[in-house]
Amino acid sequence: MQKGKFWLMGLIAVVVLTAAGESYFEINKNLELFSSFYKELLSNYADPIDQEKVVKAGIDAMLGSLDPYTTYIPEGDMANYKFQTTGKYGGIGATVRDLGDYIVIAEPYEGFPAQKSGLKAGDAILSIDATDCKGKSVDEISHFLKGPAGSIITIKVQRPGTKEPISIPLQREEIHLNAVSYAGLLDGQFGYVRFTQFTDNSARDLERALRQLKKENPSIKGWILDLRGNPGGLLTEAVDVANLFVTKNSPIVSTRGRKPSSTKLFKALNEPFDAQTPLIVLTARNSASASEIVAGAIQDLDRGLVVGQRSFGKGLVQTTFPLTGLRAQIKITTAKYYTPSGRCIQALDYSHRNSDGSVDKVADSLKHAFQTLKGRTVYDGGGIEPDAPVAAKEYSQLMSVLVTKNLLFEYATHYVLNHPSVNSIRDWQWNEIADLEQFLETRSFTYEAAGETELTLLQKKAKENGEQELLEELKAFKASLHRSLHESLQENKSELSELLSTEIASRYALQKGRFQNAFQFDADIKEATRLLKDKLNYEQLLQLKK
């Protein structure tokens, strides 16, 4: 029972330590209830109880009544949590994906052990240090690949196009993923930076990238800070990132919680890198948390324009607390954050759940108007609304099927085997429908367009019920809707060209190649560069005073 007691003691310590100002009578009453209930359960239940499992279930149930960001971090998850906050881990530097019986290398990171040792996208991992990897999950393989920096690991892979497996010894390193996954020049005049995470020192990564671009291109006429897909991270790093573009002492974000210590105002403490050059911040539906702090500050201070799609809408701040006597922690939502205009962009109200436990978005009628520094109207309660919205790219059902079944990934591997190189990565486009069709036929791929699947189910029911006339009508209707694989591929050739061009480009030049090739298809990038070129339109959207 000792382990269960430690769990309970840790929980009680957290409750007591975080309940300053609460009614101690209520606290003690509820703790006594929990303790008494736990004791009687352990003493009298018919079967032996896994105490750790039961207490974990109790913790999960308590947290389930709150928001999804208040979480328990057990000892076994501390390495992943450390990676989320520091961007560092011991490993080989590669992403992996599930592909049939084996996990395969999805993409090696440039300059890290996987790439330096010759691992390639598409390599199926047969074994790791003699451990058979058939049937293992992505999480299991990721765990096997990680380890102390300097340790040796041997990976046996089956490479497409080769008959015999290849054994590759390599030495793990401390992998520090740079928060800037790509930096370069667009249209010969605009500095572009893809910023992917707000971890320790990520603002320094960004500043280094910006300064290097400026050094190489002194006449840069505009900046594009790409926060699409950035899920956020450390609030302090968000403040430092915004500080690179706004004048010293400018307000960036404030936090407010129940405890006085949770109420803080964060200002730009340093001189900026560049507070004058036109700036555009790209956001998408998956830009969240710290990304929204930066985008909100840039928008509220009228420092630049936000382009793309409305952001996620996470306006909650978490603080991590150690659990007494345990190598575990609890991450608790301790405050909400507010942009310089005073708005909280939290989209879901977890404090008022429906009877079924669901949570609603903040209704438009409950949203409030706020003013930017120069008087533009912005709203709370639903993420950051772009100054220049761009419709999100919606792919066809066929693309969803091909991506989900990893067929485009497999075809890219097949293509590279038969094409040692391609012309200029930046503007190269794939356009070999016949080759793809032939490849899909070797995989016995069949496809039913939207509506055909439903008709197949109706046909089955009609057959079961003996409704022959209806069955014939459904067959005829389905035949009129059906498109051959050839027709379906032709109808979606522009989407195929986009997705395969970028995937294949990454096989030749890794992440750098993927980004460079994707620019030609990117509607958000095109709108950003258009606005930076059109100075009058840019200033009109900011409502600059003449």
Q: Active-site residue among 240, 300, 387, 522? A: 300
> Rounded CA gap, 442 and 500, in Å?
18
Beta-bridged to residue 256, according to DSSP, are 336
Verify that 287 and 327 share a domain, yes or no: yes
For residue 499, give Cα distances in angstroms to 408, 413, 431, 509, 545: 8, 14, 11, 16, 43
> Residue 278 falls within a domain, yes or no?
yes
Q: Active-site residue among 202, 289, 291, 311? A: 289
**124 is in which domain, residue-wise?**
88-176
Q: Where a domain ends, among 129, 149, 176?
A: 176
> Residue 385 falls within a domain, yes or no?
yes
Verify that 53 and 96 share a domain, yes or no: no
Verify that 105 and 191 share a domain, yes or no: no
CATH number at residue 197: 3.90.226.10
Residue type, 459: Q
Q: What residue ranges in 326-482 does DSSP mark as E strands? A: 329-338, 369-371, 377-379, 388-389
- Where is 62: in which H helix or E strand? helix 51-64
SS (H, E, C) 479-507: HHHCCCHHHHHHHCHHHHHHHHHHHHHHH
Verify that 185 and 301 share a domain, yes or no: yes
> Rounded CA gap, 67 and 350, in Å?
6
Which tens digit of pLDDT belongs to each residue from 145-161?
999 999 999 999 999 99
In which band, very low, low, confident or very high, does the pLDDT at 546 lie, cut at 50, 70 and 90? very low
Sheet-wide strand order for 305-308: 180-186, 190-195, 222-226, 279-283, 305-308, 388-389
Asked if 72 contacts 159 with a C-beta cutoff of 8 angstroms, the reply is no
> Residue 541 falls within a domain, yes or no?
no
**Letter string b/e over residues 215-247, b meaning 16 or more CB atoms within 10 A of that residue's CB:** eeeeebebbbbbbbbbbbbbbebbbbbbbbbbe
> Residue 76 falls within a domain, yes or no?
no
CATH number at residue 145: 2.30.42.10
Number of domains in the chain: 4
Per-residue model confidence (pLDDT) at position 20: 46
Verify that 379 and 423 share a domain, yes or no: no
Which tens digit of pLDDT belongs to each residue from 292-324?
999 999 999 999 999 999 999 999 999 999 988
> Residue 23 falls within a domain, yes or no?
yes
Per the structure block, which two tokens stand in for 483? 């498109």
Q: What percent of the chain has pLDDT over 70?
A: 92
Verify that 168 and 191 share a domain, yes or no: no
Per-residue model confidence (pLDDT) at position 353: 82
Q: Where a domain ends, among 146, 176, 206?
A: 176
Is 300 part of the annotated catalytic residue set?
A: yes
Verify that 102 and 119 share a domain, yes or no: yes
Per-residue model confidence (pLDDT) at position 354: 84
Verify that 31 and 114 share a domain, yes or no: no
Per-residue model confidence (pLDDT) at position 487: 85
Is 545 part of the annotated catalytic residue set?
A: no
Asked if 110 contacts 510 with a C-beta cutoff of 8 angstroms, the reply is yes
* Nearest partner of 382 among 313, 289, 315, judged by Cα: 313
Q: Where a domain ends, among 156, 176, 196?
A: 176
> Rounded CA gap, 98 and 123, in Å?
11
Q: Output the pTM of the full model.
A: 0.87
Is 314 part of the annotated catalytic residue set?
A: yes
> Rounded CA gap, 229 and 284, in Å?
7
> Rounded CA gap, 301 and 293, in Å?
12
Verify that 195 and 266 share a domain, yes or no: yes
Q: Active-site residue among 200, 314, 488, 501? A: 314
CB atoms within 10 A of CB 387: 23
Verify that 351 and 411 share a domain, yes or no: no
Per the structure block, which two tokens stand in for 484? 């051959």
> What phi, psi does 446 have (nearest 5°)?
-125, 155
Beta-bridged to residue 183, according to DSSP, are 193
> Residue 70 falls within a domain, yes or no?
no
> Residue 347 falls within a domain, yes or no?
yes
When the pLDDT of each residue in the chain is averaged and rounded to a whole number, the result is 90
Instruction: With H, G, I as helix, E, B as strand and everything else as coil, classify residue 55.
Output: helix
> Rounded CA gap, 174 and 149, in Å?
5
Per-residue model confidence (pLDDT) at position 271: 97
> Residue 543 falls within a domain, yes or no?
no
In which band, very low, low, confident or very high, does the pLDDT at 450 lie, cut at 50, 70 and 90? low
Verify that 215 and 352 share a domain, yes or no: yes
The structure tokens 């459904």 sit at: 474
Which tens digit of pLDDT belongs to each residue from 472-516?
766 665 555 556 788 889 999 999 999 999 999 999 999 999 999
Verify that 37 and 113 share a domain, yes or no: no
